[in-house]
């Protein structure tokens, strides 16, 4: 592999930078737009360099919202999205790890049927059962609540399967050893299994947090009150059908704020993210 190594390397660098530019350009435009004057943008005279309205726009976006009559500060939406993402991630991990524990470490009647009942949920995303789920959540009086936002998204088997697979790889001797030490099922779970699962839980958390944060169709249906909106819903409502009324700097600032937490998680916890992504897809 010696032919034209130097040139090839430059070409590779060049192509990668073009790729990065393609990937980053829309986000750069959004950021630049969020720092400029609305009148300029609406006239189609937006500059590609940052303007001077950064603090003003972001202050307005986070604490006040758009100038419309049904405005809601984006700070509230960020809070709602955060609560929803945390509930989805932690809730799913919590109920999955204990059910996987039961399925792997106990023998009881209907063990396999129960496993299959959980396993089959892998197949269908929430979108295909959206209206019946809506009706159930409404009947349970969970519309406009954090429980209603997160519970239907917790009902899936990915995490259970992952923990089950992981528990299967833990050597039998560990259980026997802690038995000799007199540990019961609770102690074994708490002192042995949980510490061993820490990396798996963290990787799963990263993926589920992003999944919860980025939900759209479900919160769109079940939130009717403005103060329960997640940021993904809020941003759509800011775009009015008549272009002239859309406050683009605020919309773009909201887009930037909506991206920040999940992108931060991916970049900072990159190893865990990659691991979680590869494992949940298996």
Q: Which of 54, 38, 65, 37 is nearest to 245 (CA)?
A: 38
Query: Are 84 and 145 in contact, with CB atoms under 8 Å apart?
Result: no
Query: Are 61 and 256 in contact, with CB atoms under 8 Å apart?
Result: no
Q: Is the dihedral of CA 47, 32, 23, 80 positive or negative?
A: negative
Q: Which of 35, 66, 33, 61 is nearest to 240 (CA)?
A: 66
Query: Are 89 and 125 in contact, with CB atoms under 8 Å apart?
Result: no
Distance CA 78, CA 55 (A): 18
User: What is the nearest approach in angstroms of another protein to the Cβ of residue 186?
Assistant: 9
User: What is the nearest approach in angstroms of another protein to the Cβ of residue 13?
Assistant: 7
Would you say 176 or 181 has its CB closer to another protein?
A: 176
Would you say 1 or 55 has its CB closer to another protein?
A: 1
Would you say 62 or 114 has its CB closer to another protein?
A: 114
Would you say 60 or 157 has its CB closer to another protein?
A: 157
User: What is the nearest approach in angstroms of another protein to the Cβ of residue 70?
Assistant: 18
Task: Please give the distance of CA 43 from its chain centroid, rounded to a whole number.
Answer: 35
63, containing H or E segment: helix 54-63
Would you say 200 or 212 has its CB closer to another protein?
A: 212
Task: Please give the distance of CA 185 from its chain centroid, rounded to a whole number.
Answer: 33
Distance CA 117, CA 21 (A): 46
User: What is the nearest approach in angstroms of another protein to the Cβ of residue 2?
Assistant: 9
Would you say 179 or 225 has its CB closer to another protein?
A: 179
72, containing H or E segment: none
User: What is the nearest approach in angstroms of another protein to the Cβ of residue 67?
Assistant: 18
Gyration radius (Cα) of the chain, Å: 24
Would you say 18 or 199 has its CB closer to another protein?
A: 18
Distance CA 76, CA 73 (A): 6
User: What is the nearest approach in angstroms of another protein to the Cβ of residue 144?
Assistant: 17
Query: Are 235 and 258 in contact, with CB atoms under 8 Å apart?
Result: yes
Residue for token digits 């939900």?
Answer: 215
Would you say 58 or 248 has its CB closer to another protein?
A: 248
């Amino acid at each position: 592999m010696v032919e034209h190594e130097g040139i090839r390397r430059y070409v590779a660098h060049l192509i990668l930078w073009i790729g990065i530019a393609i990937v980053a350009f829309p986000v750069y435009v959004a950021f630049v737009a969020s720092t400029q004057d609305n009148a300029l943008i609406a006239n189609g005279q937006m500059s590609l360099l940052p303007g001077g309205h950064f603090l003003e726009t972001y202050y307005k976006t986070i604490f006040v919202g758009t100038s419309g009559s049904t405005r809601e500060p984006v700070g509230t939406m960020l809070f709602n999205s955060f609560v929803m993402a945390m509930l989805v991630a932690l809730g799913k991990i919590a109920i999955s790890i204990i059910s996987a524990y039961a399925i792997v470490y106990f023998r009881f009647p209907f063990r396999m049927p129960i496993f299959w009942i959980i396993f089959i949920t892998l197949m269908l995303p929430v979108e295909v059962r959206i209206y019946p789920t809506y009706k159930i959540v409404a009947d349970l009086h969970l519309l406009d609540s954090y429980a209603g936002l997160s519970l239907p998204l917790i009902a899936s088997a990915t995490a259970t399967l992952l923990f089950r697979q992981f528990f299967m790889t833990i050597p039998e001797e560990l259980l026997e050893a802690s038995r000799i030490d007199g540990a019961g099922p609770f102690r074994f779970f708490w002192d042995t299994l949980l510490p061993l699962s820490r990396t798996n839980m963290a990787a799963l958390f990263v993926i589920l947090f992003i999944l919860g944060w980025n939900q759209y169709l479900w919160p769109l249906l079940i939130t009717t009150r403005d103060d329960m909106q997640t940021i993904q819903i809020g941003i759509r409502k800011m775009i009015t059908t008549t272009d002239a009324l859309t406050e683009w700097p605020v919309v773009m600032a909201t887009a930037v704020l909506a991206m920040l937490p999940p992108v931060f998680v991916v970049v900072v916890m990159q190893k865990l993210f990659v691991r979680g992504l590869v494992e949940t897809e298996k």
